[in-house]
């Protein structure tokens, strides 16, 4: 009696983040990338108009969902699932995204020195063939920063590393020497919590081992 092998699920990452790509690659997952064209400011403004102010965690989840649904709206093969992610750093109740400029990054680090904040990463998983099958979760990690000197701040800002990063830092790069400790998932601070991904996949009836290379 012959058995028919079901096609393996294929993961599409709706992000250009090198950090997220590295996390998924290091976790042994096979995936492709397709960057969303979502206007994040417009999505957030619409949500605020309709539902009121969004917390940092809500913002991360909102944008992760928007990215996943945007990419899922383009044709994909049966068995494909799309993962959208977005990270927002919270300090004293205020949400901080990417600084983009050296001046903003410098100001952020003057705030981060000796402080404690929370990195929220929103995750949203969509089955493009069955859009009603979508699940999401926010993973939050507390980050404790050491006291950083002005000289160290200037050198870090000049490196360019913090400019494209939520919260103006990366835990897996130069800023690692400025981070005393974390409470939560390390990979989440990089941009995607693989444990959360595993649980979201399971909710859609997919085993993460089916995505291993």
Residue 212 pairs with which residues in a beta bridge?
Answer: 29
The dihedral of CA 199, 135, 141, 208: what is its sign? positive
Q: To which H or E segment does residue 181 belong?
A: strand 179-183
Token pair listed for 146: 């050491």
Determine the Cα–Cα distance for residues 105 and 168; give it in Å rounded to an integer.
6
Determine the Cα–Cα distance for residues 142 and 120; give it in Å rounded to an integer.
9
Token pair listed for 39: 């206007």
Looking at 39, 41, 70, 86, which residue is catalytic? Answer: 86
Determine the Cα–Cα distance for residues 103 and 21; give it in Å rounded to an integer.
28
Is 210 assigned a catalytic role?
no
Direct distance between the N- and C-terminal alpha carbons of the chain, in angstroms, rounded to an integer: 29
CB-facing half-sphere around the CA of 115: CA atoms within 13 A: 15
User: Which residues are known catalytic residues?
Assistant: 86
């Amino acid at each position: 009696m012959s058995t028919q092998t079901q096609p393996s699920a294929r993961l599409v990452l709706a992000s250009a983040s090198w950090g997220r790509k590295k996390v998924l690659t290091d976790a042994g997952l096979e995936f492709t990338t397709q960057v969303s064209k979502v206007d994040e400011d417009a999505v957030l403004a619409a949500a605020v108009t309709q539902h009121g102010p969004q917390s940092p965690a809500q913002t991360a989840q909102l944008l992760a969902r928007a990215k996943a649904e945007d990419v899922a709206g383009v044709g994909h093969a049966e068995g494909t699932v799309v993962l959208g992610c977005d990270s927002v750093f919270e300090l004293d109740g205020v949400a901080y995204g990417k600084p983009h400029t050296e001046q903003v990054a410098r100001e952020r680090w003057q705030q981060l020195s000796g402080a404690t904040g929370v990195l929220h990463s929103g995750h949203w998983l969509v089955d493009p063939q069955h859009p009603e099958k979508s699940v999401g979760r926010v993973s939050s990690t507390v980050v404790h920063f050491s006291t950083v000197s002005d000289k160290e701040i200037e050198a870090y800002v000049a490196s360019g590393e913090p400019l494209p990063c939520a919260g103006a830092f990366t835990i897996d790069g130069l800023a690692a020497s400025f981070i005393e400790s974390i409470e939560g998932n390390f990979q989440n601070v990089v941009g995607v919590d693989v444990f959360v991904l595993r649980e979201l996949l399971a909710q859609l009836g997919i085993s993460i081992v089916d995505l291993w290379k």
